Amino acid sequence: MPEHVVVTGAGVIGLSCAILLQEAGYYVTIVARDFPGPFETMDPIAQINYTSPWGGAHNRWVPPHAASPPSVHREHAFSLVTFSHMQRLHSAHPHTAGITFLKGIEYIESPGPEYKAITASNPLPVPNFRLLPPSAFPDDKVTWACEYDTWCVNPMVYCSFLLRRFVHRGGRLLKRTLRSPAEAFSLSLPSPSPQQQEKVTISAVVNASGTGLVPDSSMTVTRGQTCLVAEGCDATVTRQNADGSWTFCVPRGFEGGTVIGGTKELGNWAVEPSVAVREQLLESFVRTYPKILEGSKTGGLTVLRDIVGRRPTRVGGPRVESEVLPGGAGFVMHAYGLGGRGYELSWGVAEEVVRKVKGYLNEQERSRL
Ligand SMILES: Cc1cc2nc3c(=O)[nH]c(=O)nc-3n(C[C@H](O)[C@H](O)[C@H](O)COP(=O)(O)OP(=O)(O)OC[C@H]3O[C@@H](n4cnc5c(N)ncnc54)[C@H](O)[C@@H]3O)c2cc1C
C-alpha cells in the first residue's frame, strides 16, 4: 500500500505540495484550519491569518544578481519552475483554473544593482523581456522600466481549482487546528482502502502552515493593505518608489476585479484598513497608469473592498527544509514563511518538497530491506 503523507495547510503552498505528492504516488491528507472558499464570503478578521485569499496575486520577476544572497537565487529558480506549471495548467484549463497570462510592466524610480545589471544586451532571461525607453515612463521620477510576459491568478478561484483537483484524484481533507506539525502524526485517519481496516500510519508530514507552527525567531508578518476595484486592467503594473513604497495593480480576472496596492509593513499586526491609505493607493496608481480608467463607466475607480493581509515573512527567506524529529519521532518537511511570494514560488517549493519526502522515504525503505 502507498505511504501516507499529511500536509498541514490548505493555502497555495499546501495545495501545490499535496497535488505533487499525490502525483508522486502517495496517499495524501490535507489537515487545515482554513480551506479555500468564495472570496466574497471570506471573513477579513476571523481569517486574517489565512493569507492566500488576501494575496494579489501576480508573478513579478525578482532578478538575481552576483551580489544577491543565495536565497534570492533559490527563489528565482522556484519562480521559473512555477511559471512552467502555470503555463501548463492555463493551457489545459483556460476557463476554470483562475490563471490569466498577460503583460507585466515595472517602473522603478531608484533601481538597485540587480536592475542596473540588466541591459538590452544582457536581458533578464524571462519570456519576452524588454527594457522600455524613457518615452514610455509615466513621469520623470521613473528612471528604469521594463515589460515581460507573466501571469496573475484570482486567488480563491485558483486555490478552489487546486482543492477540487486534489479531491477528485482521491485526496482526503480534515478540518482541524493543530498545535504543531508533530501533532499530525497522532491523527487517526481512515484507511484510503475500504477493504483495509487497520489504522493508517503516517510516513511524513509537510508543514505548509504559512507561519510555521514551530518556534522560529525569524518569523514575523508583513502587513499589506490593498483595495479591490471593479475595473479590469490590461497589464499587471508595479512601481517601486524611491522612498521604498510600492504602487501596483493585479488584475484578478474571472469577474474578480483588480487589486490596487499596496503597503508592505514589517511587523505590523493591525487588522483594520485605513481609508486615507486606500485613497492614497488609488490616486498613486491612477497617476502611474491612467489607462486603467479606460474601462471605467464613472471616470473613476469603483471600490469593492479594502483588503488587509499578513504575508507570513521569514527574515532571510522561506524555510524549505526537512527535519527528523528527536528520537526518530517522524519526518517533517517544512515549507513556510513564503512572505509576499507564495504564489510566485509555489510549484518550485512543491517540487523541492516532493524531492525531499521521496528521498527520505526511499532511504527508509532501503534500510528496511
Ligand atoms: C496584500 C498581499 C498581497 C500579496 N500579493 C502576492 C502576489 O502578488 N504574489 C504572490 O506570489 N504572493 C502574494 N502575496 C503572498 C501570498 O499570498 C502568500 O505568500 C501565500 O498566500 C502564503 O501561502 P501559504 O500557503 O504559505 O499560507 P496560508 O495561505 O496562510 O495558508 C496556511 C494554511 O495553514 C493552515 N494553518 C495555519 N495554522 C494552522 C493550525 N494551527 N492548525 C491547522 N491549520 C493551520 C491555515 O488554515 C491554512 O490552510 C500577497 C500577500 C498579501 C497579504
Mean per-residue pLDDT for 236-250?
98
Q: Is 32 in the pocket of ligand 1 (CB under 6 A)?
A: yes
What pLDDT is stored for residue 247 in this prediction? 98
Q: 295-312, pLDDT tens digit by residue?
A: 788 999 999 999 999 999
Rounded to whole angstroms, how far apart are CA atoms 199 and 47? 33
> Confidence band (pLDDT; 50, 70, 90) for 189?
confident
> Confidence band (pLDDT; 50, 70, 90) for 107?
very high
Mean per-residue pLDDT for 255-260?
97
Closest ligand 1 atom to residue 341 Cα is 11
For residue 359, which of 313, 322, 327 has the smallest C-alpha distance? 322
Mean per-residue pLDDT for 186-208?
83
Rounded to the nearest whole angstrom, what is the distance from the C-alpha of residue 15 to the centroid of ligand 1? 11
DSSP 3-state assignment of 257? coil
Rounded to the nearest whole angstrom, what is the distance from the C-alpha of residue 340 to the centroid of ligand 1? 9
Mean per-residue pLDDT for 116-123?
91
Mutate to test the pocket of ligand 1, among 209, 213, 222, 353 (most ligand atoms within 8 A of CB): 209
What pLDDT is stored for residue 328 in this prediction? 79
Q: 338-363, pLDDT tens digit by residue?
A: 999 999 999 999 999 999 999 999 99
Instruction: Name the domain count of the chain.
Output: 1
DSSP 3-state assignment of 254? coil
Q: Is 18 in the pocket of ligand 1 (CB under 6 A)?
A: no
Residue 251 has pLDDT above 90, yes or no: yes
For residue 178, which of 198, 156, 208 has the smallest C-alpha distance? 208
Rounded to whole angstroms, how far apart are CA atoms 191 and 14? 21
> Confidence band (pLDDT; 50, 70, 90) for 196?
low
What pLDDT is stored for residue 197 in this prediction? 65
Range name among 93-102, 162-171, 233-242, 319-328 with the lowest pLDDT average: 319-328
Q: What percent of the chain has pLDDT over 90?
A: 90
Q: 260 - beta bridge partners?
A: 227, 249
Q: Give me the sheet containing 27-32, strands edge to edge.
A: 172-175, 27-32, 4-8, 202-207, 331-336, 319-324
Rounded to whole angstroms, how far apart are CA atoms 233 and 252? 9
Rounded to the nearest whole angstrom, what is the distance from the C-alpha of residue 178 to the centroid of ligand 1? 16
Beta strands in the chain (DSSP E): 4-8, 27-32, 99-108, 130-131, 144-153, 172-175, 202-207, 219-229, 235-240, 246-251, 258-261, 265-266, 303-314, 319-324, 331-336
Q: Is 156 in the pocket of ligand 1 (CB under 6 A)?
A: no
Q: Is 10 in the pocket of ligand 1 (CB under 6 A)?
A: yes
- Those residues whose C-beta lies under 8 Å from the C-beta of residue 126, and which sit 6 or more positions away, are 61, 80, 83, 148, 149, 150
Q: What is the CA radius of gyration of the chain?
A: 21
Q: Is 8 in the pocket of ligand 1 (CB under 6 A)?
A: yes
Structural domain including 124 reads 4-368
- Count CB-CB contacts under 10 A for residue 168: 8
Q: Is 158 in the pocket of ligand 1 (CB under 6 A)?
A: no
Average of per-residue pLDDT values in the chain: 95
For residue 34, the domain's CATH number is: 3.30.9.10
Return binding residues: 51-52, 311, 340
